[in-house]
Structure 1
């Protein structure tokens, strides 16, 4: 239950309930005002009926009961009706058409009333506003007539009267309540949005291990619980990162120890093979010794690649960039590899043109790149027996190009272990801020080492 009251849902429900309470209070206020008006009117009704028809009948009856058409009599009559209807206005015109008496009349009345003006007045007032009643004094037109005028809005229902009298105030109050609800709702949701954006920013920030940074949890609501889960996720990521680093360190040590342990017996095998090769062997024995020597060389190269790959993954492979005449470097590399390709019967074509600029490269890394590419060709493109090493220059780049006519990388060769060699090429090329591309198909493979201008 405590968690529910701390939730955003509970807070917004409180906001809605407060708004409903304010609307209800405003409704009760209007109802109380209307009831007050109704009580006033009903109290007045107890003294004299305020129904327009009854007022008209009463006015006619009182006018007929007047004994004389004197000013004193008329004034007393007006005073009695004024007590009943404070908002009423009255006047008296005698039988000669002379305005004799008036009480609270709004506007100017003519001093002399002609039959035409009287008829016009009656026509204008009939069914209009104010409510008008005209009666002859004593029931005789010779005594003239008296007129009663009452504003028609006094006959409206109490609620309508309240609205007309306090309409602006009620409208302003209702607008204030709605505005207050909108403002409070805006502040409520703006606070939610602000906290969500803060959480989003925390997700985008990274520490030195490239992991998100923990966020301070200020409130225990839905967003606060999300922030707690986010912090727990960060803790799990850090623990996982630490385990990964520990496992990576163990793997490196294992590979280093394994490489060392493999090279020791491999050296002994190589020495024993050399000793056996001196003996007088049959052709089959010599062929077996030759295959054994080739396998030893391949195993040694695989171990070297494995060590290099491990060091590159750990960013511990030493690098020293210098200005390197890469075309000359390729010529020297091909000179050392040429006998191996010639021995296997490859057709080797070398077309190297000098570049205008030297490359920023590490000679050791560049040598390993070329060795891995050439070793890959020698082992996996024997079917084509073709190797072309050339240069290519455009306005955008300079490139060293290796082309063979093997079956392509998608087709497996009888040799194994080519994947790690190309992985080393990729990491070393990118480590020297160079680029490379490879295109391979059934007609052969083309590899380019590029320096972008």
Structure 2
């Protein structure tokens, strides 16, 4: 078991984001020492194949200083030699260095030899011309070296000059140019490393955003959908845990749906089964009422009949709520005069209010108020509201039913009482199955319900949602 755990842990690290980023760092550290020789190779390639279009100079011109030293040594060796010997030696040097131009001037300032011919060299040199030539030859193209024949100690025989185009000399490039190319290469390498690191984190961010979108985008059932697993790293493990959570939510929702169906079926069956014994009990109470009974017996029969009526109403509400929430009862809204329906419903309840000592204060306008409602189910709403007044607010001995114009909502219907209130409970929490039916029906028919309750009474306002 320990071996398997270690193998699994090792496999997780190998596929983790940490190992991948450490690999990037390790490659960068290994590649860093190689960058310097690569920079040199890059410089050589750019310098020789891209920037330098001149032919490659021969190796004998590798350094201007070497060429200059050779020229001074030859001049020193020619000290005391005849002009013919000097001409001969200079021709030999010209053959060895054919890319050069050579001439020499004797002690009388006269040009004695010119290789090759045709150069713009004066035959007779003045002191001013000689000084000007020396100044112009410093640091210019062609490369010029001047040496006194016989050297500095014995330079009375004149001087000799060698000139060579600077393109033949392998002089080092300016330091700034080399540094710029080197820095450019190194900067390119660092930018590549930064780009790879940036792409690494961009991928991570993209996967996290995809997971976030999946979490905040519920499916048809209201539960987010599962996502496809791509990599077994830390984000992949998070995605796997998310899919597991979604699977558990789907199982829980399916279980809740099955329990809800079972509950609705149980309520419907109980409502149907309880009607038969209640009908029998009512028939026997009616039969007993025809028998001679004492006053106490008659009061008991009246109380039983009242309570059985309450049970029957509760069963009706349970059955209605079960039918509505299960979708087996459809609402068919059509434009109807709601004030007319309120008057009809109140007229049916008036005898009971009078019997219970409840004063009915009805004030409805004469003009019709048209709402798109289901007539039968709207009457159920009114019956439940009137029934709650009888059951829970009878002590107030009052029910008010009136219409009122509300700003921005149009005409509203208000049912109020002077009972003990709803104990601070809001309408959304419900005050029984009757109000639960009212809440469902008003929501389905687009009716807004506002409840105000206090120890001095309760007021329920019905208005059309705008």
Residue 77 of structure 2 corresponds to residue 65 of structure 1: yes
Q: Secondary structure at the match of 1:418?
A: coil
How high is the TM-score relative to the length of structure 2? 0.70
Counterparts of 1:228-267 in structure 2, within 5 Å, are 228-267=240-279
Q: Among 320, 326, 337, which residue is 1:325 paired with?
A: 337
Partner of 1:364: 376
Q: Among 23, 28, 42, which residue is 2:37 paired with?
A: 28
- Contact kept, 8 Å, 1:341 with 1:378, in 2: the verdict is yes
Which whole-Å CA distance do the structure 2 matches of 1:100 and 1:220 have between them?
A: 90
Q: Secondary structure at the match of 2:423?
A: coil
- Contact kept, 8 Å, 2:62 with 2:171, in 1: the verdict is no
Q: Structure 2: state its 5+ residue gaps.
A: 1-9, 48-59
Counterparts of 1:45-444 in structure 2, within 5 Å, are 60-67=72-79, 68=81, 70-77=86-93, 82=97, 92-95=104-107, 111=122, 114-116=126-128, 118-119=130-131, 122=134, 134-139=146-151, 140-147=154-161, 154=170, 156=172, 163=178, 167=181, 175=188, 209-271=221-283, 273-274=285-286, 279-282=292-295, 287-354=299-366, 358-393=370-405, 396-411=409-424, 418-444=431-457
Q: Structure 1: state its 5+ residue gaps.
A: 38-46
- Contact kept, 8 Å, 2:422 with 2:431, in 1: the verdict is no
Deviation at 1:402, TM superposition (A): 1.8
Q: Deviations over 1:7-59 (max 9, x none)?
A: 5555565566666666665533445689999xxxxxxxxx999695x886665
Q: Which moved more, 1:63-72 or 1:326-335?
A: 63-72
Partner of 1:451: 464
Which whole-Å CA distance do the structure 1 matches of 2:107 and 2:379 have between them?
A: 136
Alignment root-mean-square deviation, CA: 4.9
Which whole-Å CA distance do the structure 2 matches of 1:96 and 1:355 have between them?
A: 140
Which whole-Å CA distance do the structure 1 matches of 2:337 and 2:305 have between them?
A: 34
How high is the TM-score relative to the length of structure 1? 0.72
Q: Secondary structure at the match of 1:256?
A: helix
Q: Which moved more, 1:366-375 or 1:379-388?
A: 379-388
Compared CA separation, residues 252 and 35, structure 1 to 2 (3 A): closer
Deviation at 1:332, TM superposition (A): 0.5
Which whole-Å CA distance do the structure 2 matches of 1:75 and 1:224 have between them?
A: 84
Which whole-Å CA distance do the structure 2 matches of 1:130 and 1:432 have between them?
A: 103
Deviation at 1:180, TM superposition (A): 6.7
